[in-house]
Amino acid sequence: MVIFLLLVLIVVILFGKEIKSAIYLFVGISFIYWIATSLFDWGSNLWENHSRAIVIITLSIFGGLYGFQRNRRLADQEGLIVSEEENVAHTYNKINSSTSEYKQDEENDFKEYFHLYNQAKDLEGTSPLESLELYIHILTEYRPKGMNYYERPTYILEEIGSYQEAIDICDRAIKEIENNLFKGDLYSFKDRRERLLQKQTKYRL
């Protein structure tokens, strides 16, 4: 109330000569003062009567906002996880596809060199050199898996006195067996290699 009286006094002092303007200003200030005091009183009464409800509502709003932000972060993380799973699945499918293609190529190669091997084997009795040529072709163009692809050409090479070539084939077979490229009798090739070395040394003297 004291503030209101001071405002009236200021109006009278400032606009004493212009009564009309003073009245307008007085009415305006009075209206503003009334609104301000009403709002203040309403706010005070509201807080006094409903303080618990206001606190609960405020906490609920805060909790809702926090939950919304948390859910959004979780959704973003789930999106990243899904994206990562998709990448893993894509990589797996790509590797699986590559593996399938490799197996298919390997199967096709086997069909080709197995056919050549049968031809070479049939020619051993009648045309050993032609048979040897096919065996060497198999070893040059493919990576055959099996002892016979290495043993049979060494027989022919040993018979015709080409010991070093036979030793080279034994070395290759030993290396591939040791590297688990195919299963075979490692010591059989080592013994054969030793025998070929002895023959090679003997006939050089």
Name every residue whose Cβ is closer than 8 Å to that of residue 145 and which is 6 or more positions away in sequence.
110, 181, 182
The tens digit of pLDDT for each residue in 95-138 reads 566 677 778 888 899 999 999 999 999 999 999 999 999 999 99
Contact between residue 157 and residue 183 where contact means Cβ atoms under 8 Å apart: no
For residues 162 and 154, what is the distance between their CA atoms, to the nearest angstrom?
Answer: 9
Q: How many CA atoms lie within 13 A of 26 on its CB side?
A: 17
Enumerate the domain spans of the chain.
Answer: 1-12+19-40, 105-204
Q: How many CA atoms lie within 13 A of 57 on its CB side?
A: 6
Average pLDDT over residues 86-93: 56
Q: What is the model's pLDDT at position 105?
A: 84
Structure tokens at 135: 């065996």
DSSP class of 181 = S
> Is domain 105-204 in CATH 1.25.40, yes or no?
yes
Amino acid letter at 8?
A: V
Name every residue whose Cβ is closer than 8 Å to that of residue 176 and which is 6 or more positions away in sequence.
143, 182
For residues 93 and 64, what is the distance between their CA atoms, to the nearest angstrom?
Answer: 42
pTM of the model as a whole? 0.53
Average pLDDT over residues 12-41: 57
Q: What is the model's pLDDT at position 182?
A: 87
